[in-house]
Amino acid sequence: MLELELKVNGERYAVRAEPRKLLSDVLREDCRLTGTHVGCEHGVCGACTVLVDGRPSRACLIYAVQMQGHDVTTIEAVAKDGELSPLQQALHEAHGLQCGFCTAGIVMTFEAYLKENPHPTEEEVREVLSGNLCRCTGYHNIVRAILRASGATA
C-alpha cells in the first residue's frame, strides 16, 4: 500500500492504495466521487473519462499512483454553485441523456473539446463522440446538445 496525495477538483485527498488501483476506482471508492462511471474498464466505452491537467483521459487506463502532482477534474466540478455549465444545460434542454450512464464521460470529453474547438461541425462532433458509447443510442440528441452548447443552431 502506498500513501498517495491526489488533487481532485482543486481539493487534496490523502489516499492509501496499491499501485495497481485504477484512478477510476480511487475516485469512486476512496474520494467518494461516484459521478465518474465505470463501464468497460479497458478504454473503449469512455464512461470514466475525466480531465488530467485539463485533457480528457480514461480513468480506467491510469493508475491513481500516476496522478501525484497532476490535477484531476471530474464531473462533480463542472456545475458551479449548483449552476449547470452551458454544455450540461444544453444536454438537459435537448434531451441529450436517457439513462445517463455515459453522460459524465461525454460532458468531460466535450468540456475539453469545446475549449480546443469552440465551433465544431456536426461531423467533428460525431467523430469525437465516437469515443463515448451510449447504450441507449441517443446520439442524435447528444449531438444536437453539443452543437447547441457551441452556439450552433441545431
Q: How far is the CB of 150 from other proteins (least distance, A)?
A: 15
Residues 113, 55: Cα–Cα separation, whole Å = 9
Q: Which is nearer to other proteins, 29 or 93 (CB)?
A: 29
| Cβ–Cβ under 8 Å, residues 24 and 43 | no
Residues 117, 121: Cα–Cα separation, whole Å = 10
- 88 sits near other proteins (criterion: CB under 8 A): no
For residue 139, how many C-alpha atoms fall within 13 Å in the half-sphere facing its CB? 14
Number of residues that bind other proteins (CB under 8 A): 31
| Cβ–Cβ under 8 Å, residues 100 and 59 | no
Candidates 29, 63, 85, 139; binder of other proteins (CB under 8 A) is 63
| Cβ–Cβ under 8 Å, residues 72 and 9 | yes
Instruction: Say how many residues make up the chain.
Output: 154
Q: Which is nearer to other proteins, 5 or 127 (CB)?
A: 127
Residue showing cell 466540478:
77
- 65 sits near other proteins (criterion: CB under 8 A): yes
Q: Which is nearer to other proteins, 38 or 154 (CB)?
A: 38
Q: Which is nearer to other proteins, 95 or 111 (CB)?
A: 111
Residues of this chain that interact with other proteins (CB under 8 A) are 2, 18-20, 22, 25, 40-44, 46, 49, 52, 55-58, 60-63, 65-66, 109, 113, 127-128, 130-132
